[in-house]
């Protein structure tokens, strides 16, 4: 059986010509003296700007060790493989712009992703001023255009802020992101995934507290006849629509705080007998003090807590401090119900270190984070109410 010889044309390797580069309609200045190629786009600008802005590019443009110039024409450009054409386009646009055109208010919301990419580009070429300049613009954009940005936009900016360790930009992003989550436009579950990936516990705490506020009506003490200790026990199955890890953390904080509040409700502060009560109660002061003054004291404590429970205060560390402040204010204004002994004995909160409520305040951390993550032996330092 004979075989036909292979077609010579099929055995020859076809030479793959590089795609032709096209001049960028915006970033190709005819009077420039330096041509740069990024992707398949040619840019032409004045080499003076590049040399002044970047020590890295200055070294490339000043030639190799033999003194041969690298900068050239369309046929021999400075080939920057790996660079995005959009980054060079942004650099040339901003470099030739007037100061007025670089004001934050002149940028549209669509500039967010371009500015993030450009800042990374400038940082890679050691353009210190141009690498830092976009940060303020980005913070302005996220504050003023948050309602049009997507989850991807917020994630990109949040990643960028973490990459730079830029706390102000991170904080501006968190505030704007939380506003969109509270309004219901964006999902807290999606944001939690980002916060967990970056290990941003401050952001996670804000998200968890938001969920606690949302669930306040569901887990209200008044709606749960079994009491606060059983209202939201982590062992019970509660569906918050979140991954188990985040649900467990949220329920842990809620359970710790509600248990502490329930314990405090059942433990009024000690009540010392007032000297005038001893005189008025003679000849059996101890018995009358117990039956009248202490009963009135316990009743006032119960009524005080009932009034605070009726308030819509979230179960967070800050919410716990608000509750304690409401108890303090109510007791300062309240009066023990009148009795035959004149009601001399009652607990009056003070700012002394050994005061009962002051000790309660000192037991509550400044943020809910302690109850959520259990860091630094915080289980032992939980609320001691």
Q: Using one digit for the tens of pLDDT, what is the confidence trace for 100-122? A: 999 999 999 999 999 999 999 99
Residue with more model confidence, 7 or 320:
320
Q: Tokens standing for 90?
A: 């942004």
Q: Is residue 136 part of a domain?
A: no
* Residues 90, 232 within the same domain: no
Q: Alpha carbon 57 to chain centroid distance? A: 37
Coil/strand/helix, residue 43: strand
Beta bridge partners of 23: 42
Number of domains in the chain: 2
- Which residues, at least 6 apart from 69, have a Cβ–Cβ distance to it below 8 Å? 61, 62, 63
Beta bridge partners of 78: 36
Please report the sign of the dihedral spanned by the C-alpha atoms of residue 150, residue 151, residue 152, residue 156.
Answer: positive
235 and 359 Cβ atoms separated by less than 8 Å: no
Counting Cα atoms < 13 Å in the Cβ hemisphere of 140 gives 16
Residue with more model confidence, 259 or 239:
259
* Separation CA 354–CA 362 (nearest Å): 11
Residue with more model confidence, 280 or 131:
131
* Residues 365, 228 within the same domain: yes
Q: Tokens standing for 44?
A: 């032409």
Coil/strand/helix, residue 129: helix
For 168, which DSSP code? H
Q: Which of 39, 74, 96 is the last residue in one of the domains? A: 96
What pLDDT score does 381 carry? 38
- DSSP states along 176-237: HHHHHHHTTSS-HHHHHHHHHHHT-HHHHHHHHHHHHHHTTTTS-GGG-TT-HHHHT-TTS-
Q: Tokens standing for 231?
A: 């209202």
What pLDDT score does 191 carry? 97
Q: Is residue 241 part of a domain?
A: yes
What pLDDT score does 382 carry? 40
Q: Is residue 122 part of a domain?
A: no
Q: Which of 69, 96, 123 is the last residue in one of the domains? A: 96
Coil/strand/helix, residue 25: strand
Q: Is residue 351 part of a domain?
A: yes
Q: Is residue 300 part of a domain?
A: yes
Q: Is residue 104 part of a domain?
A: no
Beta bridge partners of 37: 42, 79
* Separation CA 375–CA 301 (nearest Å): 33
Lowest-confidence pick of 42-46, 65-69, 202-206: 65-69
Coil/strand/helix, residue 74: coil
Coil/strand/helix, residue 60: helix
Q: Which of 41, 65, 96 is the last residue in one of the domains? A: 96
Q: Is residue 76 part of a domain?
A: yes
Residue with more model confidence, 379 or 75:
75
The Cα angle at residue 80 between residues 79 and 82, in degrees rounded to 5: 135
Q: Tokens standing for 356?
A: 């009962």
What pLDDT score does 157 carry? 97
The verdict on whether omega for the bond into residue 283 sits within 30 degrees of 0, i.e. cis, is yes
Structural domain including 74 reads 19-96
* Separation CA 185–CA 142 (nearest Å): 15
Q: Is residue 257 part of a domain?
A: yes
Q: What percent of the chain has pLDDT over 70?
A: 76
Number of C-beta neighbours around residue 23 at 10 A: 14
* Separation CA 125–CA 118 (nearest Å): 11
Quote the pTM value.
0.69
pLDDT category at 279 given cuts 50, 70, 90 is low
Angle of helix 244-265 relative to helix 295-309, nearest 10 degrees, comes to: 150
* Separation CA 349–CA 327 (nearest Å): 9
| Average pLDDT of span 237-254 | 80
pLDDT category at 336 given cuts 50, 70, 90 is very low
- Which residues, at least 6 apart from 367, have a Cβ–Cβ distance to it below 8 Å? 205, 317, 318
Residue with tokens 């020590």: 55
The pLDDT tens digits for 207-231 are 998 988 887 655 554 455 455 444 4
Q: In what helix (H) or strand (E) does residue 273 lie, and over which residues does it extend? A: none
């Amino acid at each position: 059986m004979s075989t036909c010889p292979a077609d010579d044309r099929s055995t020859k390797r076809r030479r793959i010509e590089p795609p032709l580069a096209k001049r960028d309609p915006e970033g190709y200045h005819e009077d420039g003296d330096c041509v740069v190629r990024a992707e398949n786009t040619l840019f032409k600008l004045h080499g003076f700007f590049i040399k002044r802005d970047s020590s890295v590019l200055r070294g490339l443009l000043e030639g190799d060790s033999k003194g041969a110039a690298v900068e050239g024409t369309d046929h021999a450009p400075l080939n920057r493989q790996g660079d995005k054409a959009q980054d060079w386009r942004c650099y040339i646009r901003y470099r030739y712009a007037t100061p007025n055109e670089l004001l934050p208010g002149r940028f549209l919301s669509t500039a967010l992703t371009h500015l993030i990419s450009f800042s990374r580009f400038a940082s890679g070429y050691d353009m210190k001023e141009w690498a830092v300049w976009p940060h303020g613009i980005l913070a302005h954009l996220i504050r003023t255009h948050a309602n049009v940005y997507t989850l991807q936009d917020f994630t990109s900016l949040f990643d960028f802020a973490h990459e730079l360790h830029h706390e102000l930009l991170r904080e501006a992003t968190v505030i704007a992101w939380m506003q969109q989550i509270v309004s219901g436009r964006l999902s807290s579950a999606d944001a939690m995934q980002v916060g967990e990936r970056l290990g941003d516990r401050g952001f996670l705490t804000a998200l968890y507290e938001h969920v606690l506020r949302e669930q306040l009506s569901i887990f209200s003490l008044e709606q749960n006849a079994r009491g606060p200790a059983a209202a939201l026990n982590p062992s019970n199955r509660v569906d918050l629509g979140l991954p188990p890890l985040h649900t467990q953390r949220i329920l842990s904080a809620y359970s710790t705080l509600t248990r502490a509040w329930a314990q405090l409700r059942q433990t009024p502060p000690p009540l010392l007998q007032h000297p005038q009560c001893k005189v008025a109660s003679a000849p059996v002061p101890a018995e009358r003090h117990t039956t009248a003054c202490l009963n009135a004291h316990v009743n006032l404590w119960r009524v005080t807590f009932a009034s605070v429970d009726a308030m819509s205060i979230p179960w967070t560390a800050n919410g716990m401090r608000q509750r304690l402040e409401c108890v303090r204010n109510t007791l300062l204004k309240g009066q023990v119900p009148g009795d035959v002994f004149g009601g001399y004995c009652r607990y009056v909160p003070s700012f002394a270190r050994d005061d009962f409520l002051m000790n309660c305040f000192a037991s509550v951390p400044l943020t809910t984070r302690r109850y959520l993550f259990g860091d630094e032996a915080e289980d032992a330092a939980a609320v001691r109410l």
